[in-house]
A and B are shown apart, each in its own frame.
Chain A
Amino acid sequence: MESLLCFGLALLTAPLFPGFILKVKAFFAGRKGPPLLIKYYTLGKLFRKGSVYSTTTTFVFKLGPVVTCAGAILLLLFFPLGSRSTVIAFQGDVILLFYILAAGRFFTIAAALDTGSPFEGMGAAREALFGTLAEAAIFIILILFYRMNGSLSFAEFFAGVQPISLTGAAGALVPLVIAALFMVLLTENSRVPVDDPATHLELTMIHEVMVLDHSGPDLALIHLGSYYKLLFFASWIALLICPLDPARGLFNLPFFYGTVALVYVAIGVVESIMARLRMNLVPQFILTSCTLMFFAAILTMGYLQ
Chain B
Amino acid sequence: MHLLLLSLLIIAAGGIVPVLLLRFFPLAKCSAAILTTLGCLIGLYSILTATHFPFSISWEWLHCCALTFTFDSLSRIFLVPIFLISPLAAWYGVGYFSQPEKSLRVAVNYFFFALLIVAMVLLPAADNMLSFALTWETISLASYFLVMYDYHKESTRNAGYLYFLFTQSGALFIFAAFGVIFSFTGNLDFAGTATLPEGVKLVVFSLAFVGFASKAGVFPLHFWLPHAHPAAPSHISAIMSGVMIKMGIYGILRLYFLLAPSSLAIGQAVLVFGMLSGVLGILYALSKNDLKRLLAYCSVENIGIILIGVGMGMIGIALADPVVTIFAMTGALLHVLNHALFKPLLFLGAGAVLQQCGNGRIDQLGGLMKRMPTTGKTFLLGSAAISGLPPLNGFISEFLIYFAAFHALGHSHTIFILAMLAILSLVVIGGLASFCFTKVVGMVFLGEARTPEATAAGPVSLPMTIPMTILAGCCLLIGIFPTTCINFVHLGLADYLFFDASVTAQLTSVGNNLAIGCRLFLLLLALLLCIRRLFYHNKTVTQGPTWGCGFTGGTPRIQYTGTSYVRTVVSIFRPFVLLKESKIRLQAIFPSRTTYCNHVSDIAEEVSNRGLALPLLWVLGKLRWIQHGNIQLYIGYILLTILAVLLTLLI
Chain A residues in the interface with B (C-beta under 8 A): 47, 49-58, 60, 62, 65-67, 69-71, 73-74, 77, 88, 90-93, 95-96, 99-100, 102-103, 105-106, 109-110, 112-122, 124-126, 128-129, 131-133, 135-136, 139-140, 142-143, 146-147, 150, 152, 202, 212-213, 216-218, 220-221, 283, 297, 301
Name the distance in Å between B321's Cβ and chain A's nearest Cβ.
15
Compute how far the CA of A67 lies from the CA of B442 in the bound complex, rounded to whole angstroms.
17
Distance to closest chain A CB from B82 (angstroms): 29
B500-531 interface bits toward A, Cβ cutoff 8 Å, 1 = contact, 0 = none: 00000000011001101110110011011100
Band of interface residues on B: 35 or more
* Bound Cα distance from A129 to B435, whole angstroms: 7
A147 and B420 alpha carbons, distance in the complex (Å): 11
- Do B535 and A55 touch (CB < 8 A)? no
B601: CB under 8 A from chain A? no
Q: Which residues of B contact A283 (CB under 8 A)?
A: 572
Instruction: Given A50-B542, A54-B546, A116-B556, verify A221-B427 contact (CB < 8 Å).
Output: no
Docked Cα-Cα span, A116 to B380, in Å, equals 17
Task: Give the distance in Å from the alpha carbon of A301 to the alpha carbon of B543 in the complex.
Answer: 59
B564: which A residues are within 8 A, CB to CB? 121-122, 125
Query: Is B541 touching A99 in the complex (CB atoms < 8 A)?
Result: no
Cβ–Cβ contact A60 & B406, under 8 A? no
Known contacts A50-B542, A92-B510, A93-B513; is-contact A116 B447 (Cβ 8 Å): yes
Among B441, B446, B559, chain A packs the most CB atoms within 10 A around the CB of B446
B416-A99 in contact (CB<8A): no
- Chain B contacts for A115, CB-based, 8 A: 447, 546-547
Please give, as numbers and ranges, the residues of chain A lying within 8 Å of B535 by CB-CB distance: 47, 216-217, 220
Residue numbers in B under 8 Å from A53 (CB-CB) = 541-544
Contacts of B402 in A (CB 8 A): 92, 95
Known: A69-B528, A122-B560. A106 touches B447 (CB 8 A): no
Question: CA separation between A67 and B438, bound complex, in Å?
Answer: 15
Name the residue on B nearest A283 (C-beta).
Answer: B572
Q: List 26 A-B contacts (CB under 8 A).
A: A51-B536, A52-B542, A57-B546, A60-B369, A70-B521, A70-B525, A74-B520, A91-B513, A95-B403, A96-B517, A99-B388, A105-B434, A106-B389, A109-B434, A110-B438, A117-B548, A121-B560, A124-B565, A125-B560, A125-B567, A128-B434, A132-B431, A132-B432, A147-B409, A221-B528, A221-B532
**B363 in the interface (beta carbon within 8 A):** no
A77 to B523, CA, bound (A): 13
The 9 closest A-B pairs by CB, nearest first: A121-B560, A132-B431, A113-B442, A116-B447, A50-B539, A90-B513, A217-B535, A103-B389, A54-B546
Residues of A within 8 A of B548 (CB): 117, 119
Q: Which residues on the B side are within 8 Å of A88 (C-beta)?
A: 516, 520
Q: Does B210 contact A (CB under 8 A)?
A: no
B205 at the interface (CB under 8 A from A): no
CB neighbours of A129 from chain B (8 A): 435, 568-569, 572
A137 to B151, CA, bound (A): 49
Contact A66 B447 (CB under 8 A): no
Residues of B within 8 A of A (CB): 366-367, 369-370, 376, 380, 384, 387-390, 395, 399, 402-403, 406, 409-410, 413, 416, 420, 423-424, 427-428, 430-432, 434-435, 437-438, 441-443, 446-448, 509-510, 513-514, 516-518, 520-521, 524-525, 527-529, 532, 535-536, 539-549, 554, 556, 558-560, 564-569, 572
The residue on B at minimum CB distance from A93 is B517
Selected contact of A100 from candidates B390, B446, B572, CB within 8 Å: B390
Task: List B contacts of A90 (CB < 8 A).
Answer: 509-510, 513, 516-517
Interchain CA distance A109-B370 in the complex, whole Å: 18
The answer, among B389, B406, B423, B546, for a CB contact under 8 Å with A99, is B389
Asked if B380 contacts A113 (CB within 8 A), the reply is no
Contact of B424 among A100, A103, A136, A213 (CB under 8 A): A136
Task: State how many angstroms separate the Cβ of B421 from the closest Cβ of chain A.
Answer: 10
Q: Which of A120, A125, A147 has the most CB of B within 10 A?
A: A125
Task: Report the Cα distance A143→B422, complex, angstroms.
Answer: 11
Task: Decide: A152 near B406, CB < 8 A? Known: A96-B399, A140-B424, A217-B535.
Answer: yes
Chain B residues lying within 8 Å of A119, measured Cβ to Cβ, are 548-549
Number of A-B residue pairs at CB separation under 8 A:
237
Q: Chain B residues near A110: list those with CB within 8 A.
A: 380, 438, 441-442, 446
Q: B416: nearest residue on chain A (CB-CB)?
A: A301
Given contacts A96-B399, A116-B448, A128-B435, 17 further A-B contacts (CB under 8 A): A50-B540, A53-B543, A54-B547, A58-B370, A58-B376, A88-B520, A90-B510, A92-B402, A102-B389, A103-B390, A113-B446, A116-B447, A121-B560, A125-B560, A125-B565, A132-B431, A132-B569
Is there contact, CB below 8 Å, between A135 and B528? Answer: no
Q: Is the CB of A70 within 8 A of B524?
A: yes
Complex CA distance for A91 and B395, rounded to whole angstroms: 16
Contacts A99-B390, A109-B438, A114-B447 given; does A131 touch B431 at CB 8 Å: yes
Q: How far is the CB of B458 from chain A (nearest CB, A)?
A: 16
Q: Are A213 and B546 in contact (CB under 8 A)?
A: yes
Query: Closest CB-CB distance, A81 to chain B, in whole Å?
Result: 17
Contacts of B516 in A (CB 8 A): 88, 90
- Which residue of B390, B428, B442, B448 is within 8 Å of A136 (Cβ)? B428
Q: A56-B448, A92-B513, A109-B442 are in contact. Are A117 and B547 (CB under 8 A)?
A: yes
Q: Given the known inter-chain contacts A66-B529, A92-B403, please indicate yes or no for A213 contacting B547, CB distance below 8 A.
A: yes
The reply to whether B438 and A71 form a contact with Cβ atoms under 8 Å apart is: no
Bound Cα distance A233, B567 (Å): 30
- Residues on A with C-beta less than 8 A from B387 are 102, 106
A163 to B410, CA, bound (A): 18
Q: Which residue of A lies closest to B405 (CB)?
A: A143
A116 partner residues in chain B, CB cutoff 8 A: 366-367, 446-448, 546, 556, 559
Query: Hey, which chain A residues are within 8 Å of B367, CB to CB?
Result: 56, 116
Distance of B5 from chain A, by nearest CB (Å)? 43
B591: min CB distance to chain A, Å: 20
Q: Which partner residue on chain B sits nearest A213 by CB separation?
A: B547
A95 touches B399 (CB 8 A): yes
The reply to whether A55 and B543 contact each other, CB–CB distance below 8 Å, is yes
Contact A58–B369 (Cβ < 8 Å)? yes
CA distance A184 to B566 in the complex (A): 22
Q: How far apart are the CA atoms of A119 and B543 in the complex, in Å?
A: 20
A142 CA to B32 CA, complexed, in Å: 52
- A74 interface neighbour in B432, B524, B543, Cβ under 8 Å: B524
- CB of B466, distance to nearest CB on chain A (Å): 21
A220 surroundings in chain B (CB, below 8 A): 535
Q: Verify B406–A143 contact, CB threshold 8 A.
A: yes
Q: Which residue of B lies closest to A131 (CB)?
A: B431
Q: Are A136 and B427 in contact (CB under 8 A)?
A: yes
Decide if A128 touches B438 in the complex (CB within 8 Å): yes
